Structures are given as C-alpha cells and as structure tokens.
Chains A and B, each alone.
Chain A
Amino acid sequence: MIGGPQGSGINASAEVFAKACSRAGLRVYANIEYHSNIMGKHSFYRVRVDDEDVRSYKDKADILVALDQETLTGDGDHRRWATHYGHLGEINEGGGVIFDSEIGFDPATAKRPDLRFYAVPFMEIIKKALEEVGKGEQARRYEVMKNTVGLGASLALCDYPFDLVAEVIRSQFKGKRSEVGELNVRAAKLAFEHVKQHENAKEFPYTLKPGGEPKARILAKGYEIHAIAKLKAGCAFQTYYPISPATDESVYLERQQREYNLLVVQCEDEIASINMAVGAAHMGVRASTATSGPGFALMVEGIGFASITECPGPVLVMYQRGGPSTGMPTRQEQGDLQFALHPAQGEFPHVVIAPGDLRECYQDTFSAFNWAERYQMPVIVLSDKKLASVYTTIDKLELRWPDIDRGEVFTGTEWTAVDAKGPNDSGSQTGHNGNGNGKMDLANVKEYLRYAFAKDGISPRSRPGVTGGRHWITSDEHDPDGHITEGVEMRVAMMNKRMNKLKLLQKAMPQEQQYFLHGPKDADLTVLAWGSTKGTILDALKALEAQGKKINFLQCRLMRPFPAEAVGAILRSAKRIVSIEENYSGQLAQLVQEQTGVMIDQRINKFDGRPFSEDEVANALAKVYDGAKAEPVVTHVH
C-alpha cells in the first residue's frame, strides 16, 4: 500500500509495481481511493499480488509506503472531524512501514511494536541521484520522484527483483524522456540499497517472488475495457460531459478518434449528451455516452425519448458513485440500480445490465450495441467507480468477439414486412404521404412505415438519406407513420408493440449473461448479489470453503428484462438467502422481492463509499452462516 497527498504520484508507482508483477506472471488486483480534489488531499493505492487469481482487496497490507504524515496517522490533527485515522492499523503483524524521514515521525507513537519502521531520506536520495548527472542543485524540482523512491524502498523489503521494476520504469519514459526514466531508475535503486543496508530489513516476513513464467496477460482498468468494447462494437459517436468517474472512458476514446474514425463530442451538459447520441443513433450510427449519477439525472428525459421513438440506441455506460446529489464523487456505491430501472416518466422498454468484472464489462458493453439495434431501445450498462478504476490482470481477452448484429434494417429496395394485425385507424386520415385518405388498410400499404406492426413487433428501421424510407419520429404517442396520435386503439397497440420487445430480448439472450449461480448447486447458504462485488464475494467464498462452509452465490446481471422465473426458482430452492450490496437499502433485494415474490430478509449492506474487502464479506457471511442475523451495515473502520 502506498499513500500520500493527491498529485504526489502514488498511482504512478503503484502501477509500475503492478506491471512489474503482472509481466512476471503474477496476478494483480489494485485499487485506488482518492478524494474529489486535485492536489493535497489524502489518497492511497493498494496492490495485491498472488500466484492465483485475486479479485478483491484485503483489510491489511504487508508493506505501507507513506509519503506524508497523514498516511500514517490520519487527518484528525488538522480537521475538526477526522475523515480517517491513517493506515497503521491496516498493516499485517510484523509488516513494514517506509516513511519519509523528513516528516519527523516517531515510530514509538504508533503503538504497533510488531511493525518494522524504515525512515528513508527521500529528498537526499533524489539529490544524490541528480548529483550523479550533475543536477544536484535542482532537487526540489524533482520532488515528484518521491513516489519512485518509495517504490524502490519497498522492493528491498519484499525482496522482489529490482530489474523487473527498472524495466517497467524505462518502458514508461521513452524517446526524449528516457533521461528522466534513467533518473527514476537511479533514485529507486539508491532507495533500494538504502533499505537493504538496514539491519531491520533482513528476514522481513513478507517476500514476493516472480511467477513461474510470464503469461500473456494484460493489466487493465474497467473504463479502458468499456471503451475498447465500444470501439470493437463499431461505436462511431460518443458524447460526454465531464464527470467522475465516467470521464476517463470518453477521454480514452477521444485519444483514439483519429485512428478509429470515431467522433467524440464534448457537450454542454448531459441533456445534450444523451440527446445528441439519440440524434446520431436515429441517423444510423452506433452511438453511446457515459456518465454517473448527477449526469444520469439530467439524461432521463432523453432515455424515455429514445425508447418511445424506438431509437436503435444509444448505449449508456453509467458509472455509479456515492450519492445522493453530488454525494461522494470519487467513491464507490451501488446506489443507482433502482434509478436505472425507473429513469423517466411513463412506461417504456429499455435494457439494464450490470457486469460483475472486467470481462463482463467488455461482453456487456459490446452486446449492448447489438441489443440496442435489434430491439430498438436504449441500453444502460451499469458500471461503477470500482470497476472503472480497478487495475487488474485479465487473461488476454479472447479476440473472438461476438458477431455484429444490426437488427432489421430497411434498405430502400423492398418493403413487404407489414403485418395486417395492427389496428385500423378509424379516422379519415392515414397521414402518410401519397396514401390518400380513407380507411387504413395496413395489409395493402405499399410504402415504408417506420412503426409498422411487423410480426414480432420489431419494425425494420430506416434512416434519413435512404430513398423510400421516409418517416417521422416523435416523442408523442404515434401511429405507424410516426405521426402523433391519441387514438385509443393505436395507443394500446403501440404500447404492446414496444413492451413486447423486452420479452423477445430476454428469450434471445444467453442465460449465463442474465444470471449465474457460482459454487455448489446444493448449499447451506445462498448469497444474492450483483455488479462489482462479484470478485470480492468469490474470493471470500474461496476462503470460507476452505473452512468447510457450503455457500453458493447467485449473481444477477440482467436487471431489465429481469429473469424472474429462473431467479425465483433458484431462490425458492435455496435453504437460506443473504444479499450483499454496496448501498443502504438493498436495491437488488427489492427488485428480487418485487419480481419473484421471494422475500430477502437477510441483507448485508455497506454504504460508506468504500468497496467491501474480502475480509468484510467473509466475516459477515461466516456470522450469518453460523446462524447470526445479518449485520445490516458493514463499514470500514480499523
């Protein structure tokens, strides 16, 4: 774990270390905690490394690198209400603490006699490295290298091969900057040697060895995976308005614009973002946007608009963060499931899917474009801050991507797809150009109708510029032409037509993308959860299984249309059920109750803005397993 003020580069050193481990065949799970602030406030990064898959963080680390006093003891000394108490309590028995000797910290005050403390003269080391290239007097300008010093020092403790890390540092400073890279390697090396000489560093209990052999793995963050899936799915138009933690995805795509012929538009607000994307989707391009709670709150009218007009999109990646209102912009929460399910006025079809890890982020984001076009409705991919920013190894994504499915498209050459089953408009107007007045006989309409009552309810879509595919779209209720209607029969027929598409979609979607039962079929306890807690729960279950506890885990992924029958059947046959969610009320539990009639009385919730640790989940579940009532609230205070 490395901590320091924002802007001090802790993420750079944590990520260099993560890379050096991943390249050597180890598995990595790294996550950052930071404030909604640019410079100065406390942030920290945890890097967990193992030979086997790691999908969550643990309460305690083996080594702490502190770039400042606050990382050690918290901010109670300069804030009326402390936001945290430092990380000394989050170090394993006998672990190591590396800190900048300049801060003048006295280890005796730590009340952790078991820990080993290393005061490292960060600035002196930087100065020494600079002196070697004749720039000793510029040390203050290179203060940002403190993070590298911290990294070098920690490598000495865990005895990880220095060269593996040096290689990563060099690869990050290429070309003209290679000189700076060398300087960083030098500073890290000096720190490494400084700690190695320490009497106290011998026989440090926590060591790390490179993996057996390097694997073809990548180390990625969720926002990158969402973005790459969009590229691969043929998204051509992305809109956004800056907001944490969604912005990274759009900026990443913006960087790829020239290479992939994709247009990224920074809009004046989220209302513009969603509606521009709707305009693009109706024009026939695969369009998307990304936002988080406050932005989503502005987008809602556009979602209903997309749905009533049977727009082939857009795809919206919604990165949940701590709410309500501005809430906790950079912190984790699964607080927007019910909001995503009911975003706007009236009743309309849309898809909500919640991926549980990076692989699912990529599958669901890709599929979302296919569903949007085939079923002509907006799709919400419900991601979150944790998925967006987690930095973790994944086996190289198999490049067998799903096929592109653009749904039913009117090409302008033939038009036969009209089913006569729609209601006849009893009025004297058909409204369609050239169709004349008189009773509407849908069976004999020879012209293209955008909202024709096709057999399965999906009318082939057209787009401006297509000869003969002319039509109107309106946010009002409409007839097959797309003209406004308030007629009773047409209203009922159009509502049925739109809503029925959800059933079609559910039938066509692979079951494992809808829900998944992890672990034994037959268990004493069934965990019900969704989204980014997946990895944490799987890690915790592995630990509990080793203790002989038989627990399985029902992961819900497709939230709308909800696979009520299948989920209900699994839950009805479960002995006991407990839900785990990172929100206050248990929003999935509510959804399951509503959809299946199965009551979820035992709920474990956490809403402190931090994701569950493996230990928190394991401890909470162990208690429930042993018969205790679920503790309704878990918070991370050590």
Chain B
Amino acid sequence: MSINAPAKPLTLKDYKSDLHNDWCPGCGDFGILTGIQMALQQLQIEPDKLAVYSGIGCSGKTPHYINGYGFHTLHGRVLTVATGGRLSNTDLTVLALGGDGDGYGIGAGYFVGAGRRNADFAYIVHNNNVYGLTKGQASPTLSKGKKTKSMPEQAIQDGINPVAMAIASGYTFIARAYALEPKYLASIIARAIRHKGSALVDVLQTCPTYNDLYTKEWYEGADLPEKRSRLYKLEEKGYDGKVQDPTDEQEMIAKKAAAVARSYEADPIPIGVYYEVELPTYEDAVFQRIPALGEKPLVEQDVFHRDVTPLLEGMR
C-alpha cells in the first residue's frame, strides 16, 4: 500500500481511542492491539485515511480501540465487507482482523476467496485456539485430541494449518507472529501493510481465561527441562521466503513448498515471514479494465450523469 505521511508526526497516542477496554486482564489481544498501533505509527498512517474492519469475537472489538474509521462487522464475513470497502476507495489503508474461528472456520470460504483475489489489504488473525467470546470451545486451529479447561471433551476434529491454507489460496504475503512480542509483531504488521496485495499475519495469541494449553509460560517453554522459547524467528535461521523473481514459476513453487514445510514445524514454531511475492493485485486488473478507476477511486467518480441513450437505442 502506498502511504502518504502527514505533516505533523503522529504519536502512538493518536492511534488510541479512549473507549474503555473490556478484554480479560492479561489477554493476548492487548499485545496485538499495541502491535497494530505501533505499526500504524511507524508508517505514519493518518487516522482519517485508515479503515479497520473486524469480525465478531473478543478480537472483533479491536477496531473500537483504534482511532480510525472502524467497522465491526459480522462473524466470519469481515473480509467481504473489507473487500467492498477497499475496492470502493483505493486511496485508503485497509486492515482486516478477527479471530481464528472467524477467519478459518465460519469465514473459511471468504479466506480462500480473498486469497484468490489478492486485493490490497492486511489481514491479522488473532489465533488463540478457542472461540473466546462464546466461552472457550475448540477453534479450527486446535488439534485433534487436545482439551482446554473450558472444553468438556477432547477436540474430535483436527486443526487446520493457516499458513498452508493461505499458500494454497493465493495470499502474496504470509507471516506469523506472537501477540506477546508486540515490537516484532509491529514490524511484521508494518511489512504486511506495506505489501501490495493480500497479506496474512497469523498471530499466536494467548487466552488466559480459556486456553490453559498454550499459555505465555508454554510459549516461553517454562515447563521444559531446560527453559527455552517454543518460538524461533525464521530469518534468524537464514530462511528467506521472498520470491526474488515473480516471473520465475519454479522459484515461486519452491518458495511455496518451503513455506508449507516450515509451517508444519511444531517445536519450536517458526514466526516471521513465510512467503512473500509481488504479483498484480485485483485492483491492478480492475484498473486495466476500467482505466478511470486507476486515476481516482470509485467513490470519487462522477457516475451521476451517465448517458444511457445508446443502450436504449440498441433496443429498437
């Protein structure tokens, strides 16, 4: 996304609304909120030129805490509303976010649809392995046989792999980060926003209220005989998921395969950018078909003085 910096530098405070926050104390969502605000500040995005869309869930409340235009939509449909908004005004920065249930379960069809389209927005998924707002049922990322304290029985279905799903769907920027490391998260989100095309950031998020399996301590490896983080950063192991030559199909396939392979690593879990490629976006294709939209966004077009006489004449 191209970003025009405002005259007066914006501070972190400029991205905070003063609405009272009602997440549980210690919720990983706080870290994600901070990460988003830090990224916005780094990029100096004007709040009036920012549209943040969310689904329904604990995570869905995030836009209310961000100073910008906020759209708290429906459970699972966030990407559809965001796409409609994005295509109507291509001058804005569009962020979409929501829970893992929201995006990978009820919204899975739209997750795939958005990947195929590759419209220009960043999508941040708060992946806490549970349905938080409905009190802790298994989410689509919880593996078979697992049981959190909120579940009466072990998960009977298997979990999905968001990174592999994003690769298969066509996302052109795919990353993973950790909610309780907001600085690193912010750097990833900033890259996702800057990326031209559909960008997914799957954020591993703690839910201290319902998810007693994947807690802060678990991610820190406090239970291991020798304490070590259960996360590692891809770039620190020399991994580079960026496709250098997007016209080279072989390179693209190889990078996708490498990303999928990494995404199955369970201990430690890789975070960072799995895959990145610059390909024409949906908007590019639209501008090619309808050149006027490349000059100014749909919302600013004068569509109120159309001459339909030729159409009527054709019906004689």
Query: If the complex has contacts A279-B83, A472-B64, are A465 and B290 also in contact, measured as CB distance less than 8 A?
Result: no
CB distance from B36 to the nearest CB of A (A): 15
Q: Is the CB of A260 within 8 A of B306?
A: yes
Asked if A493 CB lies within 8 Å of chain B CBs, one says no
In the complex, A397→B309 CA distance in Å? 10
Query: Interface residues of A, CB < 8 Å — how many?
Result: 73
Interface residues in A273-287 by Cβ distance below 8 A to B read 275-287
Residues of B within 8 A of A269 (CB): 109
Q: Is the CB of A224 within 8 A of B74?
A: no
Q: Is the CB of B68 within 8 A of A470?
A: yes
Asked if B73 CB lies within 8 Å of chain A CBs, one says yes
Asked if B4 CB lies within 8 Å of chain A CBs, one says no
CB distance from B310 to the nearest CB of A (A): 8
Stretch from B25-33, B47-55, B140-148, B250-258 contacting the other chain: B47-55
| Contact string against B for A residues 482-512, beta-carbon threshold 8 Å, 1 for contact and 0 otherwise | 1110000000000000000000000000000
Query: If the complex has contacts A275-B81, A279-B80, are A472 and B48 also in contact, measured as CB distance less than 8 A?
Result: no
Asked if A467 CB lies within 8 Å of chain B CBs, one says yes
Asked if B113 CB lies within 8 Å of chain A CBs, one says yes
Interface residues in B77-97 by Cβ distance below 8 A to A read 77, 80-89, 91-92
Q: Is the CB of A302 within 8 A of B292?
A: no
Query: If the complex has contacts A219-B316, A261-B292, A275-B81, are A474 and B64 also in contact, measured as CB distance less than 8 A?
Result: yes
Query: If the complex has contacts A258-B289, A280-B85, A283-B84, are A465 and B67 also in contact, measured as CB distance less than 8 A?
Result: no
Q: Is the CB of A396 within 8 A of B81?
A: no
Asked if B23 CB lies within 8 Å of chain A CBs, one says no
In the complex, A479→B84 CA distance in Å? 25
Asked if B312 CB lies within 8 Å of chain A CBs, one says yes
Asked if A119 CB lies within 8 Å of chain B CBs, one says no
In the complex, A301→B303 CA distance in Å? 29
Residues of A within 8 A of B112 (CB): 268
Asked if A632 CB lies within 8 Å of chain B CBs, one says no
Asked if A476 CB lies within 8 Å of chain B CBs, one says yes
Q: Is the CB of B312 within 8 A of A396?
A: yes
In the complex, A280→B90 CA distance in Å? 11
Q: Is the CB of B17 within 8 A of A234?
A: no
| Contact string against B for A residues 97-137, beta-carbon threshold 8 Å, 1 for contact and 0 otherwise | 00000000000000000000000000000000000000000
A-B contact count (CB 8 A): 201
In the complex, A527→B315 CA distance in Å? 34
CB distance from A29 to the nearest CB of B (A): 15
Asked if A187 CB lies within 8 Å of chain B CBs, one says no
Q: Is the CB of B91 within 8 A of A236?
A: no
Asked if A354 CB lies within 8 Å of chain B CBs, one says no
Asked if B234 CB lies within 8 Å of chain A CBs, one says no
**Residue of B whose beta carbon sits closest to that of A397:** B312
Asked if A468 CB lies within 8 Å of chain B CBs, one says yes
Residues of B within 8 A of A465 (CB): 48-49, 89, 91-92, 299
CB distance from B51 to the nearest CB of A (A): 4
Interface residues in B174-226 by Cβ distance below 8 A to A read none
CB distance from B223 to the nearest CB of A (A): 38
Interface residues in B12-30 by Cβ distance below 8 A to A read 16-20
Q: Is the CB of A474 within 8 A of B84?
A: no
In the complex, A475→B63 CA distance in Å? 13
Q: Is the CB of B84 within 8 A of A268?
A: no
**Residue of B whose beta carbon sits closest to that of A273:** B80
Asked if B301 CB lies within 8 Å of chain A CBs, one says yes
Asked if A35 CB lies within 8 Å of chain B CBs, one says no
Q: Is the CB of A464 within 8 A of B110?
A: no
A-B contact pairs, 21 of them (CB 8 A): A228-B312, A231-B306, A236-B88, A237-B87, A237-B298, A239-B84, A257-B290, A263-B286, A276-B81, A279-B53, A280-B88, A281-B84, A283-B51, A283-B85, A287-B88, A301-B77, A433-B18, A437-B18, A467-B48, A474-B71, A475-B74
User: Beyond A260-B306, A279-B71, A283-B51: 14 further Cβ-contacts under 8 Å?
Assistant: A219-B316, A234-B304, A235-B303, A237-B84, A267-B80, A276-B80, A276-B87, A277-B84, A279-B81, A282-B81, A284-B299, A302-B77, A472-B64, A474-B70
